[in-house]
């Protein structure tokens, strides 16, 4: 079986507590790598918290020093890390950015949130889709929080080759119950794994990991929790080849150069 082992960290996030939030991240990584894990995913704004009144300040506070700390964390523990997202100064603009570090501590990919949560998140949207190869095992795309309410973003990512969607989130509102349904819908429509990791503290938790036929593989409660799952990539590729429940070939309708079933 071709497998990919992923840990989703539903971590406690405290607004503006950069040192404390990073220490919790560091502790989680050291605990997780006691298991054989390929990739660790943290929630949106995991280091700074949302702190919507201080977005510009937080964009400045996320410094090269913190980036180096995360790089060292990946390298020292030999694991891929997506450390949530952060506000990033991009010229005269501020964006909500996710970065990915490989086990050598190298920054290998980034994605800027395309749909800021307006009118609260006054950042500029990104305009590029990101898909990266992870150790030749799987192609992963990135989506951030409110992006999931716009199916085009996930579909465009899948069309570029993604087999799994890494979705850091920081939802604190009552519509989390709708987002759980959206996670399943994205997985079903795109025949992919959808990994939606939400924060707690300022967030409501309830992270969810969904398989390519909409099956819930793991789901967290409202408190701090680590979800470790083994994703069966052969199952994903089989679903895309023969269809959901051996019937529905939705993925083939928007991809090219594939054999008919």
Can you spell out the DSSP letters for 9-77?
EE-EE-TT-HHHHHHHHHHHHHHHTTS--SEEE--TTTTT---GGGHHHHHHHS-HHHHHHHHHHHHHH
Residues 212 and 184 sit within 8 Å (Cβ to Cβ):
no
Q: Can you give the pLDDT at residue 261?
A: 46
pLDDT digits (tens, 9 = 90+) for 124-183: 999 999 999 999 999 999 999 999 999 999 999 999 999 999 999 999 999 999 999 999
Instruction: Give the C-alpha separation, 40 to 34, whole Å.
Output: 13
pLDDT average, residue stretch 103-114: 97
pLDDT at 187 over 80: yes
pLDDT at 212 over 70: yes
Peptide bond connecting 119 to the previous residue in cis, omega within 30 degrees of 0: yes
DSSP assigned state of 148: G
Domains of the chain: 3-253 (3.60.110.10)
């Amino acid at each position: 079986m071709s497998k990919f082992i992923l840990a989703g960290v539903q971590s406690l996030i405290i607004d503006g507590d950069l040192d404390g939030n990073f220490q919790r991240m560091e502790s989680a990584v050291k605990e997780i790598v006691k298991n054989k894990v390929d990739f660790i995913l943290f929630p949106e704004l995991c280091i700074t918290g949302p702190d919507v009144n201080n977005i510009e300040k937080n964009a400045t506070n996320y410094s090269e020093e913190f980036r180096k700390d995360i790089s060292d964390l990946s390298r020292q523990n030999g694991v891929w890390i997506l450390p949530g997202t952060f506000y990033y100064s991009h010229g005269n603009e501020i964006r909500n950015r996710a970065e990915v570090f490989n086990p050598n501590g190298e920054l290998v990919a980034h994605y800027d949130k395309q749909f800021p949560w307006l009118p609260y998140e006054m950042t500029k949207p990104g305009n590029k889709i990101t898909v990266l190869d992870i150790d030749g095992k799987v192609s992963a795309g990135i989506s951030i929080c409110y992006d999931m309410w716009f199916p085009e973003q996930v579909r465009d990512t899948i069309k570029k080759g993604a087999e799994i969607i890494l979705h850091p989130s920081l939802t604190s509102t009552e519509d989390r119950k709708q987002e759980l349904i959206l996670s399943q819908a994205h997985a079903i429509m795109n025949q992919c794994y959808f990994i939606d990791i939400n924060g707690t503290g300022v967030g409501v938790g309830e992270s969810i990991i969904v398989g390519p036929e909409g099956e819930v593989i793991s789901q967290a409660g409202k408190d701090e929790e680590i979800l470790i799952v083994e994703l069966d990539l052969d199952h994903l590729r089989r679903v895309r080849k023969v269809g959901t429940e051996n019937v529905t070939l939705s993925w083939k309708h928007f991809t090219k150069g594939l054999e008919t079933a």
